[in-house]
Structure 1
Amino acid sequence: MQFVFRLCLMLIFLGLTQAGLCQNKYALIIGIGKYKFWDKISSDNDVPYIKAALIKQGFPDANISILMDEQATIFGINQSFKNLVKRVHSGDVVFIHVSAHGEQIEDNNKDEVDGLDESIVSYDAPKPGSTGNYAKEQNYYFRDDQFGIFLNQLRNKLGQKGDVVVFLDACHSGSGVRGLHKVRGNQPPLVSATFKQPETFSASATGVFAEAEKNNNNSLASYVLVSGSLAEERNTESVYPDGKEGGSLSIALTKVLDNLKPATTYRSLYADIVVDLNEMVPDQHPVIEGNGLDRELFGGKYISQKPYFEIEAIDKDQLFVKGGTVLGLDSGAKISLYIAGTKNPNQSDTLATGTIVAAEPFRSLVKLNKIPDLLAPAAGWVFLTEPVYKQKHVSIGFFKQAENGATKFSVEEMKNYQQIIREISQAEIGEIPELLISKGITQDSLIMASNGFVFGYFNAGDGNELKKIFQRYCQYKFLQQLELKSSQVKLDVKLLPYVNGKIVKQSNDKKNDNGILTCKVGDALVVQAKNNGDEPVYINILDLQPDGIINSIFPNTNTNPIITPEELKIEPGEEKIFSNFVITIGKPTGLEVFKIFASLTKIDMERIAQRTIGSKGNFSALEKLIDQSYDISNRGIIAPGNPEGSVFNIPFRIIDKTER
């Protein structure tokens, strides 16, 4: 009897455990091809292909909801999302596919920089302007804001282990029909008679997930959105293998899902889709966004993705890379070429290797060791193996202090300084100087031409002192311009006002036209850092003052209490406010920069900033990069290995107390 009882308990426990581990897959497919007023498109053909592909990936037939044509009224679309939200549970996977006309419509809540919402055209939506009644017409369009609200409801209900995937095979702009195939969304924007588009704006690629991005925290399900084209592009239909027309994104998706490789992440899935789309519709550029890009498909685990660069164009053994000098792709840098979707180059076969032979700030040219077997630029990714950071020559001139516009230097003094400048490898005498040598009463000085700040004083004619100050300027400039981005590091850093002993999280901080925080001398700030990634992150901060002085903020052994590198670790999902370290704003006034370093391994920028003796040889690649910057004026080049981590700026402007 006891044995039977124990057996029953075991079976009950096992059933509960399996129920807890169960992850269900649900899908909503919306296909609108036969419109009441809009032109017919081939969305009807997309639906069965998408459904078959999902069933092959383990989505039960009973869990796939389909909304087609006359069912997809604005009421029907809203109701289908409400039903989906009710049906799912924590940890489930939700796949949403929309194949329809898209339309831009006047923004009704002022959250779009271009003044236009993106929307899905419902079955019975009138064409823009056809009734002359904008207020009535706009009610038939499923706006991106409403889409985002439903998606947030799904993410909240699915919870941290859930997964939401959206594919939009629609278009929101463009006019006319191109080629032999239909174009989705070929109408002008739907706007009221009083609509006035902002004079200056930068259009975003999508906008559907605007609401989702506002609530991007670790307690919600991950999300990924793939759109078939940029907002300003037309979405052209193509042909399935059996000859039927359909959406180009839908065709590419079904093809990739039918030939899925093991451990495919959404990022690598997208890379394969881009290759197929490039063959079908070369002028159409898909877009991916979301926080689940490096997660295996349909609720899988997160995979570490090594940073890479996309290819702009290929010409035999040369290729143009979408990345340049600011990211370490300067002349002489080494790269390796792999197929798109490669997660870790150390575990994959190399297609070719190469060297950067020419570079601009955001674009570089690579000479490969052989012609790669690539069908299209999108089929390959470039991994940087040996970055190079070069210091461009700095022009030095003379400060014109005399009333007649001349300098106060004698001819002999001028000749002496010109000779010293020629001896500095990274300096030159130029007509538009970046630095100015100014004559003083007891000492001369080196001045920053852009803001008039004195970068350093030195004894008149002392070339060694001048070279040291120039070296410090080169390092300052290098640090200011340095940017690194790692897909593994997702750290959000903010400066919060500290007023009357309290942290002000929500404030009306004064900002200038460029959106830069403005602080007065005497104001106080604290640092807030939130780790939105899946790995622990260490944060360090260097302060780059307007006059070129470099101080360590984090870590800091000169404060009471001290802040050690170990204390700067931020766990996944953790939001840390460093309330014990209040930063008081002091002079000089001008544009100041906090340089943020975020690394998966412990780092200590203070010992590098202070040039601590005896710490050589123990640097990480990121630390070594900063350490070598002290000698950049002599060598003009840094090749530290491949530093992994993110480096970015938080600029803020300092003004006097009396300024407004």
Structure 2
Amino acid sequence: MCYSTLARTVLLLLIAIGCITVHDQVEAQQPGPPSSVAKRALLIGINKYHAVPKLQGSLNDIETMKRVLVSRWGFPEGNIRLLTDEQATRDGMLAALNQFVSETGPLDTVYIHYSGHGSQVADLNGDEPDDQLDETLVPQDGRTGTIPDITDDELDVIFGRLPTKNAFIVLDSCHSGTATRSLDIRTRSVPQDTRIDLYQAAPKQEVQTRGNIQLLPAHFVLMTGAASHQEALDGPVEGRYHGFFSYALSKSLSSTPVGATPREIFRGVETELKRIQTHFGRASMPEPQLEAPPDLLERPLLGAAGSPPSRLAWAEVKPTTPGTITLVNGLLLGAAPGSTWAIYPPGDTAFTPGWALAIATVTHLDGQHAQAKLHPAGKKIQDRSRAVAFLPASAGEKIPIHLLNVPSSQRKQIEQMLQKQIPNLELVGPEQAPRYMVSTQGSTIQLLAADGIQLVGSFDRDGWAAGVAMVVSRSAHASELLTLDNPSSQLKIDLRVANAPAPGKPKVGTRGIAVVAADTQPARYRIRKPGKPRTAENTLQLQVKVNADAYISIVDVDSEGGVNLLFPNDYAKPSFYPEGFVKGGEIVLIPDSLHDSNRAGFYWDYSPPKGMDTVRVFSSTDLETAQMIRQRIKELQASASKTPGKISTRAVGESIDSIREDLVKRAARGIVAISDPTPHQPGLVSTELSTEPGLSPLSDPSNLSDIAVTPESIPPTPAGPVPDWAATSITIKVEG
């Protein structure tokens, strides 16, 4: 059975767990009396396995997801069940599943999340004709004594009794049995269970199948962390361990527009996984899968029951000393040191750009709480105000690299060469999280991704250090550029390469289940050789759409680590999108054509060397912000032109930091502190786009709860138009 079989099964499996009441580790109160409509969630995470390798990110996954469900989607805390470690034994999981199913109503909205190991076992009932394997979930006591895994067949029996049609199931595990050589990047799978005698044939009831995929009732939305042949990864992200898929999903669910469909949420997952891919220098990432009946793919998700959700996930604010605040459980939402947060009044759910009371930068962590410094420092912040993410932390100056299985006779020389070529190098041991690993293979030096498995580059002994340095610096520069991100923006950018095939219709099986695979692979281009015609394979053309009138700026980190302003540029004709201004909802091609005498006046031909490029598109509602970003990038280009090939990661970091500082200032500029609560709509989003999927109109900033509002908590009136900005990226592989 392929991943979706298990996933589907687990989907219902997890739903059943909801009402478990196992001792003090269950972080939820007893649910109140049953209601006709409710939002319920079951979150299962296992780090501490008894007999198989431990994981590090599973509990963080479900803690973060709980905060997102509560603050962003309005799930009552009492309706969210956490099943962790020793609670998640085989008996505990099965009992909880059955109880959860029995307490779920037909109109309930249900979210199920499993983070842990998966595996496989030989198929005993003949429902897996292709690979003759059942997918399994490995419980906490799995692989001990006579404890079998939980098979997809068992889960089907339980899930068939689930009454609701509003279920979203997430499985962040895999079944390929692969492994890594890193203590930090781990796969969420263990080898196939060979104890066949422990497994009973599936119950003697009709088992419906679709090819090699056993079917659950066709009214669920299911997302899985990887295809059946791929590894789901567990590792450090922004200083905290997570499943990469779970982390990406939490980011998407934190900021996706109200009424977002499964497809739109899934696209957000793809975007975040590509950012993680760039940070770790991976050539590829696992490809998550989305499964649902076709009609559910375009229907709003998680909004069928309960109170209307907030526009963004938020952390509660508690004032501490003058000029400082605490973001309660801020770490769960990514409040790492150096990250920047916008502060809004108690009860605000709109989080309208420009209406923040203040900006706060996290200075340090106190457990899961984040301590932050206010800007302006003298601003008074009311207790129970709300903080939303504004800018992630900088990528940091140091690049951690671990030497893997390098002979002692060569280690010192390799260390010295790396330190000479990469001034900001930090050599780390096996107990620390690297961004890359360096190993030897015969007469070559290998640069590996952080998992110690995926090959990033292989270099001959002559000149290998320069080659490694170029790849590492390119990745570091791209990572810095990607920290210019605004999760609180109301702008949405759709970016793709123009030669990419249009998304096809998902494959639909005999029972009407559509399967959509994530696209985490880079776009591919070839170097344009002299005398060869310009084509869609050797000349870049971008397709851009923004949901509001905006000024766009396009920046590239090339295969040598250079940072370049692609658009606007000196060759562009004045009539071609002057100042980079585009209309909301309009599909824009840049350049407009690859033929001679195009309207743009320029082309983006690919020239040597081959490698990876990262293209980032910024959009802003005001010209001043766009001009600031462009000027900073031009200054960096000018600096690099004076010392070709010597642009340092420190210089790039300083330039990006200066952009960050300006963006923070602009978020709070022109503020006049008066107590006029009249709602103000800046009018950034085109009204004709409000019904388009994925585009949401501006929220009403007067949408507050009944919490007492003091003059200090009332949003100040912006002086002039309020700037808003956003950014998104694509990765391109340039081949010879």
Report the TM-score when normalising by structure 1. 0.40
User: RCO higher in 1 or 2 (8 Å CA, sep ≥ 6)?
Assistant: 2
Structure ID, larger Rg: 1
